[in-house]
Amino acid sequence: MKNFIFLTFILLFLNSCSRHELDWLVLSPNNVDGLTNLKFLISGFTTTIYISLVSIFISIILGLLIAIPSLAKNKFLTYINIGYVEIVRAIPLLVLILWIYYGLPIMTGVSFSPFVSGIIALSISESAFQAEIFRAGISSIKKSQWEAGSSLGFSFFKKLRLIILPQAIKNILPAIGNQFVYVLKMSSLVSIIGIGDLTRKANELVVTTYRPLEIYTFLIFEYLILILIVSYFVRKFEKKLEKSN
């Protein structure tokens, strides 16, 4: 079934190309304009990677802080955790980006640059998923580990820091790696507020060259290469963790 869908997609793509006069000279390194366009498109890699790394780092910290109340016996704190996760996951990332950049300044008078707004939106959106990853990872640790910490006279946070988290993090690192791949893909949405990532560079070049098929096809390959490289290292890291266990 998967092979049939893939073959159908290829046939449709080739059929579309046959009815469209392709002009790859617009991205050819053999001429000045093509080389300039290539450099312009590739320059978006740095922004895409940087905004993704910063966002995933902040979201991990937020996710941990949000996951902690779910461990408490207090129902009110548990409801806060559940409420945050469900509300944030229900908000489309694109809508959140637009609201933080355009809506927040109107409501609070506090405005952020497009870059900071993009990071805030990505971090908040991703933090809900990270919170669930941490909750599941911490919950997977046996109750006896908590009891061992209690027998040593450790406080809740000391047990969490010294006993539980070191074991939980080892279990959840593969999931965090997979979420990084997700953030890389979702970072393309920040282009809507003017951040010069891969997608924004492609959009700007389409406006000046009027060659959307060639440029967006190249954009697909840019993301494909980036995601495949990151996925390769994530899988390699997962295997390394399995061997260490």
Rg of the chain over Cα atoms, rounded to whole angstroms, equals: 23
pLDDT score, position 14: 46
Distance CA 84, CA 131 (A): 10
Structural domain includes residue 146:
yes
Residue 29 falls inside a structural domain: no
Tokens of 168: 């939980």
Q: How many CB atoms lie within 10 A of CB 119?
A: 24
81-113 pLDDT tens trace: 889 999 999 999 999 999 999 999 999 988 899
Q: What's the rounded Cα separation, in Å, for the pair 97 and 197?
A: 15
Structurally, the chain folds into a number of domains equal to 1
Instruction: Report yes or no on 126 lying in a domain.
Output: yes
- Has residue 103 been placed in a domain? yes
Q: Is residue 123 part of a domain?
A: yes
Q: Residue 117: its pLDDT value, please?
A: 95
The string of DSSP codes covering 50-90 is: HHHHHHHHHHHHHHHHHHGGGGSS-HHHHHHHHHHHHHHHH
Average pLDDT by stretches of 10, the chain with 245 residues:
50 50 79 90 93 95 90 80 92 95 92 94 95 89 82 82 84 88 93 92 91 91 92 85 70
The rounded Cα 108 to chain-centroid distance in angstroms is: 27
Evaluate whether residue 22 is within a structural domain.
no
pLDDT score recorded for residue 112: 92
CATH number at residue 53: 1.10.3720.10
Burial of 109 (0-12, 13-18, 19+ CB in 10 A): exposed
Q: Is residue 165 in some structural domain?
A: yes
| Structure tokens, 29 | 């390194």
Domain assignment of residue 186, yes or no? yes
| Domain membership of residue 127 as a residue range | 45-244
